Amino acid sequence: MAQTLTCECGSTKIVSDNDSGELVCTACGTVLDSIMFNQGPEWRAFDPQQSDKLTRVGAPLTNLIHDKGLSTTISWKSQDGTGRRLTLEEKERQHRLRKWQRRTTTNNSVQRNLTQALSELNRIADELKLPQNTRETAAHLYRKAVTQGLIRGRTIQSVVASAVYMACRQCNVIRSLEDVAKAATITRKEAARNYRHLYKQLQPEIPQVNKDQLITKYVSALRVSGLTEQLCRRIMEKAKAQRLTIGRAPEGITAAALYIACRLSEEHRTQGEIAKTAQITEVTIRNRYKELMKTLDFEVQV
């Protein structure tokens, strides 16, 4: 696109800097435009063969569309590629083609299930504000579940919720089962039951809940100072070293550690407040708190 630009200084010697994405006047140095897109390919070809090999077109593959965004759609316009009107005979042929196109792409049960499930998945993911890679992972897990026939007798919603929760765990995105269940409008119990089922069948690798991330989450939710946060992390390290975290729900331990940190730094947070953000009960905090205090000796000023 050849376009002659003139700088304010009157010069027309304007070059584009592809690295910084800026349009610069070589006479006076003024930056005329700073957000330029390089719409060329990112590869270089030195002969037509290479060019053929490197050229590629089309949207990226995605698990989030039931056919991965790959299938062909036949236009509804009754005109051909060059814009000419179709003959009656040709129109009928197009109609038949479209009909079969639809039947073969979306009418098998797996595909129909996927179309519905993936829109539900996107809705839940929106509500939980999940990043793209977690969505893709969830969609991938759900596909696996469908192709292995794990949906039978279960609602799409609950299986989608399980897949979403599993994806969150895999991608280290902290969302509680309760949050996911709520977004999917099912009960925690049902979500848990389906998650276990999915887990047993797929046997995926699930990392432990990252306690550091839990601390970060609670700290920001409770608006606790950085000093207390550091204290909390130290307590957690001690607890880990003393093997107090084994067999305990990470939420409980983390909440208790934060509670202790708050008391030590005299930054008052009630058990109730912390319990609410950690989605556990005060009793659990108390129990973990007691265990931590018994084993780790603090200079307690209670």
Under the criterion CB under 7 A, does residue 189 sit at the interface with DNA? Answer: yes
The two tokens of residue 197 are 């089922």
Nearer to DNA, 66 or 269 (CB): 269
Gap between the terminal Cα atoms of the chain: 74
Q: Is 192 in the site for DNA (CB under 7 A)?
A: yes
d(CA 122, CA 129) in angstroms, rounded, equals 10
**Do strands 14-17 and 31-33 pair parallel, antiparallel, or not at all (unpaired)?**
unpaired
| Min dist. Cβ of residue 262 to DNA (A) | 9
What is the spatial distance between Cα 181 and Cα 187, in angstroms, rounded to a whole number? 6
Among residues 143 and 269, whose Cβ is nearest to DNA? 269
Using rule CB under 7 A, residue 286 touches DNA? yes
Residue 197 CB, shortest distance to DNA, in Å, is 10
x/- mask, DNA, residues 236-255, rule CB under 7 A, reads -----------xxx--x---
Please say which residue, 1 or 246, places its beta carbon nearer to DNA.
246
Q: What amino acid occupies position 300?
A: V
In the complex, what is the shortest distance from the CB of residue 272 to DNA, in angstroms, rounded to a whole number?
5
Cβ-based nearer residue to DNA, 125 or 285 = 285
**Nearest CA among 184, 193, 71 for reference residue 138:** 184
Stretch that binds DNA, among 34-42, 159-167, 234-242, 277-285 (CB under 7 A): 277-285
Among 77, 85, 102, 290, binds DNA (CB under 7 A): 290
Residue 274 CA, distance from chain mean position: 27
Residue with tokens 């765990």: 169
Nearer to DNA, 125 or 218 (CB): 218
Q: Are 184 and 160 in contact (CB under 8 A)?
A: yes
Interface with DNA includes 94 (CB under 7 A)? no
Q: Is 283 in the site for DNA (CB under 7 A)?
A: yes
CA 31, distance to chain mean position in Å, is: 37
Stretch that binds DNA, among 36-44, 103-111, 161-169, 286-294 (CB under 7 A): 286-294
> Residue 38 and residue 17: Cα distance in Å, rounded?
10
Applying CB under 7 A, the site for DNA has a residue count of 22
Give the H/E segment covering residue 15: strand 14-17
- How many Cα atoms sit within 13 Å of 154 on the Cβ side? 25
Name which of residues 194 to 213 contact DNA (CB under 7 A). 196
> Which residue among 193, 204, 209, 296 contacts DNA (CB under 7 A)?
193
How far apart CA 255 and CA 286 sit, in angstroms, is 10
- What are the residues binding DNA (CB under 7 A)? 189, 192-193, 196, 247-249, 252, 270-272, 280-284, 286-290, 302
